[in-house]
Amino acid sequence: MGDDLPKIIINCGDPSGIGLDLIVFLAEKPFNASITILANKEALVQRAGLHGKKLVFQENVSLHKGDGRLYVKNIDYENDVIPGLPNKHNSKAQMQMIDYAVKECMAMNYDALVTLPISKEILSDSGNKFTGHTEYIAKLSNTKNQEVMMLVHNKLRVALATTHIPLSDVPKTITREKLEKIILTLHNDLKTKFKVLSPRITVTGLNPHAGENGEFGNEELTVLIPIINKLNEQGCNLVGPIPADTAFTPGHINKTDAFLAMFHDQGLAPFKALSFGKGVNVTLGLPFIRTSVDHGTAFNIVGSKEIDPSSFYEAIFTAIELSA
């Protein structure tokens, strides 16, 4: 493996979902990196057959030429992998795959981790307390409660103050301490990983019309504005809180290095409408680079021609770019 090539490790996610399909497509897509795949070879061959393709497995990792060859570290599952039909008994191997990838990245054997979709429901049904890929990776890397989820498409970047929690829990979760930590992580990673010298961050309000001076909620007055003012005095460049319903317009997007939305759908709904299926999930606050696709397992289209690898390819491109 050339030392000058970015070293990327890819976790195939739930083997019954479209992760394996995307890896089959990857075999024919060149990237200027060495790529290691964590997957089951037999299941990959089966999935390639559904697309009328054949794979060749390399013995050694090298430049990924897109010539139909893949370097795969084989993962064994307890049960057979059935395309489109998830099996909770294969959850243990999925968790071990994530464990291995994080351990290798922590040991600096790889420059970046790219993850493909898992099913939170299936993993939870197997007895694991699993709230999300991002949260689990943060726990493994000893950065729990420091991680920040940010979606990226070209110059549009949307980070989240809260992720996979009920909407009713959002207000009490956004404390001054938590918000300050999130903003500082976002600010610092924009500078160090994305090379933005003085990041301008636009913060959305939690309530309709950003609370309108307390008429529709007081979280802006009691939490958001005090922290924004405090961090601006310390050298940050924060704008807001602004109403979320007018935040993601060309006028704001063109002047913003990143948005910070208060909850999952507030940020991801406009992001996915604007990114046209080519968004990338980047986890900030980790000691290594982690990117992911912006979609789920899509069990219902496994093996079909409906699968679009655009987000996967963008996740790899972004991982390579951030590794430079």
Q: List the CATH number of the domain containing 105.
A: 3.40.718.10
Classified as helix, coil or strand, 208 is helix
At residue 110, the pLDDT reads 96
Lowest mean pLDDT across 119-123, 153-157, 212-216: 119-123
Mean pLDDT across the chain: 92
Shared domain check, 163 and 312 = no
Shared domain check, 294 and 170 = no
Tell me the pLDDT tens digit for each residue of 249-300: 999 999 999 999 999 999 999 999 999 888 999 999 999 999 999 888 999 9
Shared domain check, 296 and 226 = no
Shared domain check, 296 and 169 = no
pTM of the model: 0.90
At residue 121, the pLDDT reads 76
At residue 235, the pLDDT reads 95
Tell me the pLDDT tens digit for each residue of 216-235: 999 999 999 999 999 999 99
Long-range (24+ apart) CB contacts under 8 A made by 128-136 are: 128/91, 128/95, 131/164, 132/163, 132/164, 133/98, 133/292, 134/163, 134/281, 134/283, 135/163, 135/164, 136/98
The residue with tokens 């529709």 is: 216
Q: Which domain holds residue 194?
A: 148-277
When divided into structural domains, the chain yields a total of: 2
Q: Parallel, antiparallel, or unpaired for β 280-284 and 148-153?
A: antiparallel
Shared domain check, 124 and 236 = no
Shared domain check, 230 and 306 = no
Shared domain check, 137 and 82 = yes
Shared domain check, 81 and 33 = yes
Shared domain check, 174 and 124 = no
At residue 226, the pLDDT reads 97
DSSP designation for 205: P
Instruction: Reply yes or no: is the peptide bond before residue 241 cis, omega within 30 of 0.
Output: yes
Domain boundary among 243, 259, 277: 277
Shared domain check, 244 and 167 = yes
Shared domain check, 185 and 45 = no
Contact 195, 207 (CB under 8 A): no
H/E stretch holding 85 reads: none
DSSP designation for 287: S
At residue 125, the pLDDT reads 67
Tell me the pLDDT tens digit for each residue of 91-117: 888 888 999 999 999 999 999 999 999
State percent of the chain over pLDDT 90.
Answer: 76
State percent of the chain over pLDDT 70.
Answer: 97
At residue 81, the pLDDT reads 86
Tell me the pLDDT tens digit for each residue of 7-62: 999 999 988 999 999 999 999 999 999 999 999 999 999 999 999 999 999 999 99
Shared domain check, 163 and 303 = no
